[in-house]
Structure 1
Amino acid sequence: MSLVGEERKREILELINDAGKVRTNDLVSRLSVSSETIRRYLEELEEENRLKRVYGGAVKITLAHEEPPHTKREVLRAEEKKRIGCAAAGLVQDRDVIVIDDGSTSLQMIPFLIYKQQLTIITNSVSGLNMLIDYQNKELFDGDVFFVGGKIDPRHYRSSGTIAEKIMADFYVNKAFITIDGMLPAQGITSFDADRAVLARRFMQNSDASIVLTDSSKLGNGTLHKIADWNEIDMVVCEKPHPAEWKTALAADGVEWVVAE
């Protein structure tokens, strides 16, 4: 590696330390090099355990392998999540029975569902439940709402655990809207939390269609607990196209990818 190359890599590390992440396109413009050169720098820095590559760039390595709290998640990438939520709500038809999990992305669906007719919505999200009750009291939503109770996780405003799974076992829905913490071809979709992964799997098993909602920061990441393989997913809604190298695997498993404009 040349001296100039080492200086560029050092600048990349300084940027990622300050912002927590970097984007390949931004680095191309800032450092006046090709995207291939940037990818090589990122690969080398990842091999040195200095950063973690993700789709479109890289993120700062952290030793905390846990899910951010709900209050932090709901403000991260808020505009992207709103677009995804709007696109996902467009997949819901009048009189559908759907389950919406506790993810900050899937909760963005709710404001776009209020004028749908005769919906039945099942959720394990305390925040989602409160939103739906508020819309019902304001006569903006005329559907039915069921809460999947169980052990309450106050940090993430959700229920989970064996009781929640047993309750969900008695429901069957048209569409399950699931959020994730990671997605990789070899691992499928994953979660930071074991109980959340188990409940999400139950949501999918008891649904005619399983729809994953994710912003692009989750692409290329793997977390500890498996939710499902790609062949168990019907559709992914994301604000960006899938990585080009995923095309063959997605097609083989019959996964439709919807880009939220």
Structure 2
Amino acid sequence: MRVSKAKRQSQILAELNVSPSLRIADLADRLAVSTETIRRDLDELTRQGQLNRTYGGAIRALGTEPSVTERHTLLVAERERIARATMEILRPANVIMIGSGSTTVHVARRLAVERTNITVITHSFGVATVLALNPTISTLIAPGTYDGTEGATVGVHTVGFLNEFFADAVVLGASGLTEEGPTDALIEAGAVYGAMLARSARSVLVADHSKFGRVFPSRWARWKQIDALVSDAAPNGQLQAAIDRHHVSVTVG
């Protein structure tokens, strides 16, 4: 039975949710059409921004993300629930590293309300600003090159500073979550998150449901490096399977 173009293209996109790259010949075999038909499908999906063409195939389209200022206006209630749920996980921690992002600022605000006499190490100006509401919290800000879209410092000086410390826990956000691990739109921010992860005894990833299945250039950790995921909804499908396989605890706020 001949499959319609719409169904065929939906199947191609479904395949990309399982595999980060596809080959034209393999798709033609699976969908029982010619390679020229698949090429036309891939060209059309590329024009729509659904994927990126490569020589002999296609890869997932790399997403773009609004600035951190714009993100602060999105999914506010969901991020507040995530922040509240994160507090119990962080209760034993006295030295905490916090990465940049809108959700991590919500976590920092809850820390300022609920905790006293802790130390926070961050590269995010937003995180540092909300922590200033609590004078008992000692905040160390990492130096580096300031990225205005992220409201944070990045670069070799930031990473070098972080390498001088150890933390009980790290709280990190993500632009997207894939079966391989968390990803970020800003490559240099991904390098900072990786440094924080390496210097912390426990890792907590905070991300709302809109991040599920989204792919960005910097894959800064694998699931085996993440201890806990806190979100406003439970992941499903291939993403859930990958998280379960690496025994990541999932908390839904």
* TM-score, normalization by structure 2: 0.75
Cα distance in 2 for residues equivalent to 1:150 and 1:162 = 7
Q: How does 1:157-168 map to 2 (within 5 A)?
A: 157-168=151-162
Cα distance in 2 for residues equivalent to 1:188 and 1:110 = 23
Query: How many residues in Structure 1 have an aligned counterpart in Structure 2?
Result: 212
SS in 1 for 2:134: helix
Q: Does 1:211 align with 2:178?
A: no
Q: Indicate the RMSD between aligned Cα atoms, in angstroms.
A: 2.8
Shift of 1:84: 0.8
Cα distance in 1 for residues equivalent to 2:178 and 2:186 = 17
Unpaired runs of at least 5, structure 2: 14-40, 52-60
Give the match for residue 43 of structure 1.
Answer: 10
2:96 paired residue among 98, 112, 115: 98
Q: 1:66 to 1:73 in 2, by over 3 A?
A: same
Displaced runs of 4+ in structure 1, greater than 6 A? none
Shift of 1:194: 1.3
Give the match for residue 60 of structure 1.
Answer: none
Contact 1:94–1:116 under 8 Å retained in 2: no
Q: 1:246 to 1:67 in 2, by over 3 A?
A: closer
Give the match for residue 119 of structure 1.
Answer: 118
CA deviations over 1:60-116 (Å, ceiling 9, x no partner): xxx884331121111111111111111112322266111111110011012221231
Cα distance in 2 for residues equivalent to 1:205 and 1:43 = 39
1:195 paired residue among 188, 193, 198: 188
Q: How does 1:130-145 map to 2 (within 5 A)?
A: 130-136=129-135, 142-145=136-139
Shift of 1:154: 1.9
1:238 paired residue among 231, 236, 240: 231
Cα distance in 1 for residues equivalent to 2:50 and 2:90 = 36
Cα distance in 1 for residues equivalent to 2:215 and 2:130 = 31
Give the match for residue 222 of structure 1.
Answer: 215
Shift of 1:130: 1.6
Identity among equivalent positions (%) equals: 21
